[in-house]
A and B are shown apart, each in its own frame.
Chain A
Amino acid sequence: MNTDYLPILVQFLIAGGFAAVTLLISVVLGKTAQQRSEVKDQAYECGMLPIGETQPRFSVKFYLVAMLFVIFDIEVVFLYPWAVSFQEFVRDGVWVAFYSMLGFVGILFLAYLYALKKGALRWSD
């Protein structure tokens, strides 16, 4: 059993317990200011009556950002182990460690240029 991670579990329980307890305290101690009414239950829109759908269609760019994020975040994750052992590679004269990562990042960078040029990251129009 890996005991290194036990403190994390304890901390998770403590943090979760703290959140739960504070939420419950307010349920118990908070007092109702005003009876429920139709107006009180309305969604807040600057004090006016809500207009239209509550969850309108939104720009497709958010989806693009999410997809690009997945690609480039994985790139970052792959860079981590490489970065940690980079000095060892350099010390041992394993230059291929540098060039292969250059190739990997280079390919993704081309994809990034493509996305940039196609306007996937242009928000101003």
Chain B
Amino acid sequence: MALIRLQNISRCYQMGAETVHALRDVSLEIQRGEYVAIMGPSGSGKSTMMNLIGCLDTPTAGHYELNGTSVSDMDDNQLAEVRNREIGFVFQTFNLLSRSNALHNVELPLIYGGMPAEQRHQVALDALAQVGLGDRIHHKPNELSGGQRQRVAVARALVNKPSILLADEPTGNLDSKTGAEIMALFAELSRKGNTIILVTHEEDIAEHAHRIIRLHDGLIASDERQNRP
């Protein structure tokens, strides 16, 4: 069974008098354990696709099934619960809470998930150790380097053991060396069996993925698997 199943998904936005079709009747399946890159120029619909897959948004038409559950008709609170359980976000700008330390940032999804405090603490520590930041848990974001911040964000994304790791231009704000480190971390996470979806417009970043889906004008232009060396 596919982890992600998009069936005839459309998403329109009303921009004044004009209707913008960000996605037009798109169907797509992603299996558990896949490492997929979604590519396309700006305006191609890749952000919309990411928002829909990440359950931040719902389609205008079509059906979306995530992990066997239909999410296209859910309300705000149900979607929040699905995001909490099933999806780990990694953003281009890290989006850490600036006034909280690394540990608390990672604990946050667990708080919303309702995990008791002692257990939460241990789980968050484990997640930080997994991304190599076990010794930086009490540092605030502004005391960490860009790469370290993104690692905290990855730890936060992974802490709930989600079905999907959804990364939106994760290396966009990093220098190439740090970017490479983050991509190496993703590769390792993929080897460990995590499903990773990478949204990017950089070819060399997308090259890390096992499957590249290219969008153009709200349609899937190509969907190709590549054999990793």
Chain A partners chain B: no
Please report B residues at the A interface, Cβ cutoff 8 Å. Answer: none
